Amino acid sequence: MKYTTLPNTDIKVSKICLGTMTWGNQNTQEEAFEQMDYALEQGVNFFDAAELYPVPANAETYGATEKIIGNWFKKTGNREKVVLASKIAGGGDYTAHIRKDGFSKRAIKEAIEGSLNRLQTDYIDLYQLHWPSRGVNCFGTREYPFKTATKEAENHLEILETLNEFVKSGVIRQIGLSNETPWGTMKYLETSEKNNLPRPVTVQNSFSMIHRSYEYGMSEVSLREDIGLLAYSPLAQGVLSGKYLGGNLPEGARGTLFPRFIARYTGDGSVKAVKKYNEIAKKHGLTLAEMSLAFINQLPFVTSNIIGATKMNQLKENINSINIDLSDEILQEIEAIHAAIPNPAP
């Protein structure tokens, strides 16, 4: 395994982060335990969760993923071996079953206390805001939704002041953002600096070979402001494993069970690009998943690459990507496809 640190901290994290959003829905507790055991054995010390997991989010399964992780901590005593990240759910109809007051002081307090209880721990290493409440272009929205977004804006100062109370008490070690824009990220950084409040150290945004919009503005923010990317959906919800090529819908796959999760990644341009990337991988003796993950692992603004798997063979393949160094030839071939079919997935 390769390691780095959360920016501006001494917290050592693996370049591969174990994603957990299928646990409690597509994966049983027993299967999740097996994944955590194996990942830790392979040197993966960074786990990412969220209060709303598993997905699709609903009232019946709310918090189930965190409960599974907490049960594993209790069984194994491995809490101190793991850098644990979690998130407060953003607002909107999708999370109305959780709460309806966004990132209010009351909501943040409730969310943190609930996560600590489910996770059976007294601290969270990295606590993140899952998505902005003001309306931004994420989750498959390519353009900025200016007609509605101008009516909304977070109270950045109140949010950071509230989180600071938990940082000072030792309940939270560091804070992070998720699904953020350059403006939002800089606003949080500016607010923290002006008011001597906790500084976000990471941004968890989607990034894959068919969705590289982070490079448009956020990559410069990451490099110049030293706020690292935690890349999620690096395989584009499994599309960049190649398993959906030719219209295949494997039994039990996320895209088969929940088609809307892969819809943004299966347009004509994406299908064409995935086919071409698959040809490159085969040419060089790699699987498409290995090449897709290895590409992200080597990017200078990436702190950690969040993988997710429902089967152990997928998990092993994903973790093994850390041992693959892509040659200049492969990287040039990838960039040629990207130039011809740039960011086909929104």
328-340 vs 268-283: helix axis angle to the nearest 10?
160
Report residue 236 CA to chain centroid gap: 11
Please, which residues have CB within 8 angstroms of residue 300's CB and are 6 or more apart in sequence? Answer: 223
Residue (of 279, 273, 243, 261) closest to 344 by Cα position: 273
Whether 202 contacts 227, CB under 8 Å:
yes
| CB contact set of 204 (below 8 Å; sequence gap of 6+) | 48, 87, 128, 176, 177, 178, 179, 229, 230, 231, 232, 306
Is 232 a known active-site residue? no
Query: Is 299:321 a contact under the CB 8 Å cutoff?
Result: no
φ, ψ dihedrals at 128, nearest 5°: -120, 150
Contact (Cβ atoms closer than 8 angstroms) between residue 265 and residue 211: yes
Residue of 53, 188, 265, 277 with catalytic role: 53
Alpha helices in 77-212 (DSSP H): 105-119, 146-149, 156-168, 182-195
Burial (0-12, 13-18, 19+ Cβ within 10 Å), 121: buried
Q: What value does the CA radius of gyration of the chain take, rounded to a whole number of Å?
A: 19
Length of the chain: 346
Q: Exposed, middle or buried, 240 (CB in 10 Å: 0-12/13-18/19+)?
A: buried
Q: Which residues are catalytic?
A: 53
